[in-house]
Chains A and B, each alone.
Chain A
Amino acid sequence: MHHAYIDHLSTLDSPVHRLDPRAKLACALLYCAAVASLPVSRPLLPAWCVPPLAAAVAASRLPLRYLARRCLMLCAFAASVALFFPFTLARGDVAAAIGPLKVYTGGLAAAGSILFRFALTTLAVLVLACTTPFPRLLRAMQWFGLPRLFIMVLAFLYRYLFVLVDEADRIARARDSRCPSRRGRWTVTPAILGMLFVRSVDRSDRIYAAMLSRGFDGAVRVLDGLAFRRADAAVLAGLAIYLSLFLAAFLGGWCPA
């Protein structure tokens, strides 16, 4: 079985795909930090952060429908939290009353701000993930000093997630072919999960043996193969300057919205 649908966009070609993963990761972190630092009381202020993201999306040539669908899916989590803000954050005037519940303007603004900023940061991370092959992203994380053990865990997760999904599919097919009733299927699910766990433990033993056979001594060594070019520096500097000017303008009170 092929799982190309999981990371197929990262192998496309575009100016954003060609950027060094460290530059992209730094840009995404800068962007998310800037957007997250905006106050909840001004829901339209994050609109100033839209242009650099829109430019990145346009340059990446990623399918807009795909990005929108993923973004909406993830925003559902933020929405489930933001939903309570208009009723519980008693700031500003009462905009409406639904029975005993009061809707506050301050709460509405906070909900709007959180949703807007969540959507922007989620989209930024999606652009990063969809334009960078995961192994290169791990290299960038390692370069930024994330613990090697953490990187190793992520690398193994990425490598064996697909194998585990295949294994689960095979077991589920075997179950379905012998267990026609829906209720019966649910009753054997815990046994299937246990079986997956046991097989994973067995597999981990074999993988460890394969690693030892090739000289593993506790540290995974890789050649990073990364190259930071002028274009990477220019993009990173451009974003940093834009966000700095915007934040300075906001702190100086010159930002409308």
Chain B
Amino acid sequence: MSHAIAARDLAFTYHDGTAALRGVSFEVVRGETVALVGPNGSGKTTLLLHLNGILRPAAGTLHVCGRSVGPAALPEIRSKVGVVFQHADDQLFMPTVFDDVAFGPLHMGLPPGEVRERVARALEQVGLAGFEARAPHHLSGGEKKVAAIATVLSMSPQILVMDEPTGSLDHRSRRRLIGLLASLPQTLLIATHDLGLVAEICRRTIILDAGRVAADGPTAAILADAPLLARHGLEPPAPPAART
């Protein structure tokens, strides 16, 4: 199978009875950069948590890198799918930046020398070389975000899944992050409310609403369809001159 992600009729209901996904189907090919947009509570985060088996679908099938997401394939899938969570403080759970970035490679069973190499490379890639000994609580919001991305880049994933990567970032940090995301070679699936980010780096956009795929197509066409965006609680991004 050539798809990086192939989801068919995914359904998921939380313990409190909230149906978060109601038959979601989509495919992402390798190397694609796809935005997942939609109003709050539309199921974006729930869907992302299915991609590396944190949540299991109640119905439907999900294949990632050609493997069905199930208990037997989880170690392999988790090394191939890097999930960057919305809150960097949840992602950075170790006492130092080095320990955090080394966490994934160490749990993949890699030897210490390679772990150090990967940590150095990932921190270099996100512009945090020299931050190894820093404690996460001594980082700024923007630094925390890119450090969180480094924690998954060190695992050399084939797919990067991000939940609100630009949330609560100032303009400079957001710009820097967009530059970083645009430079990544991996397949990217980005759940976001930041349609400016979507317009800049995603060729394709999926609108998720009430646990269903409401639209799926080229970003330019979707962002140009103001009535469609309005129906799903979205607003077209401001033209570049008007953006802050």
Contact = CB atoms under 8 A, between A and B. Distances in A.
Interface of A: 2-4, 7, 11, 133-135, 138, 155-156, 158-160, 162-163, 203, 206-207, 209-217, 220-223, 225
B94 A214 contact: no
Nearest to B136: A159
Interface in B155-174: 155
Given A134-B95, A223-B102, A203 B90 contact: yes
- Identify the 5 closest CB pairs spanning chains A and B, nearest first: A215-B107, A135-B95, A162-B137, A214-B104, A206-B90
B33 interface: no
Given A2-B137, A221-B106, A215 B78 contact: yes
Contact of B133 (A133, A163, A203, A222): A133
Given A212-B78, A214-B78, A155 B87 contact: no
Contacts of B83: 210, 213
Contacts of B52: 212-213
Interface string B90-109: 11111110110011101110
Contacts of B220: none
20 contacts: A2-B138, A133-B96, A135-B95, A138-B95, A158-B95, A159-B135, A203-B90, A207-B93, A209-B49, A210-B93, A213-B54, A214-B103, A214-B104, A214-B107, A214-B152, A214-B155, A215-B155, A221-B106, A222-B102, A223-B116
B151 interface: yes
Contacts of B54: 209, 212-213
B90 A159 contact: no
Interface in B41-84: 49, 52, 54, 75, 78-79, 81-83
Majority SS at the chain A contact face: helix
B85 interface: yes
Contacts of A211: 93, 103
Nearest to A224: B112
Majority SS at the chain B contact face: helix
A152 B98 CA distance: 16
B100 to A, nearest CB: 9
B123 interface: no
Contact of A206 (B87, B99, B137): B87
Contact of B93 (A133, A156, A215): A156
B97 to A, nearest CB: 10
Contacts of A215: 75, 78-79, 103-104, 107-108, 155
B124 interface: no
B115 interface: yes
Residue from A3, A156, A217, A225 whose CB has the most chain B CB atoms within 10 Å = A225
Nearest to A154: B95
Contact of A209 (B75, B85, B95, B137): B85
Residue from B89, B102, B115, B116 whose CB has the most chain A CB atoms within 10 Å = B89
A4 B135 CA distance: 10
Contact of B99 (A135, A216, A217): A135
Contacts of B137: 2-3, 159, 162-163
Given A2-B138, A209-B54, A215-B107, A155 B78 contact: no
A257 B205 CA distance: 82
A63 to B, nearest CB: 20
A212 B74 CA distance: 10
A4 B99 CA distance: 19
A31 to B, nearest CB: 26
A218 B52 CA distance: 17
A158 B95 CA distance: 7
B90 A207 contact: yes
B90 A155 contact: no
Residue from B75, B87, B95, B108 whose CB has the most chain A CB atoms within 10 Å = B95
